Amino acid sequence: MVDKFILKLYITGQTPKSGRAAVNIRRICEEELKGRYELVIIDVLERPQLAEDEKILATPTLIKELPPPLRRVIGDLSDTAKVLIGLDIQPYTHPKGKEEVRNERQEESVTNQQAENWYSRL
């Protein structure tokens, strides 16, 4: 098992596409890497030399530095499966299994809906 993934996300300013990429990669990391990652977000407008050194031609660009091999994914990172394939990362498998986790999530959403209904009656 890999100790830690080192990821760098290159963005251009505070654009909607940059924001989506940052949110998406954080979600993917939390769901799939379970704390075994270091994510650095680099704005090429603020740090152009870093982008030049890495030969960044388009943003957003995500680079997986460790573990080898180095991989790059370009875009807003909205398709989790494509991001995982592009980074050569195996999807996280929950020990309970997909069906049991899916059922728990459905139960949680029902509980959240019930809470919203209860608060709306106050």
Closest Cα partner for 28 from 46, 55, 9, 44? 9
| Average pLDDT of span 72-91 | 91
Does the pLDDT at position 108 exceed 80?
A: no
Does the pLDDT at position 16 exceed 50?
A: yes
Confidence of residue 89 (pLDDT cuts 50, 70, 90): confident
In the chain, what are the domain boundaries?
A: 5-91, 93-122
CATH architecture of 5-91: 3-Layer(aba) Sandwich (3.40)
pLDDT digits (tens, 9 = 90+) for 41-73: 999 999 999 999 999 999 999 999 999 999 999
pLDDT at res. 3: 79
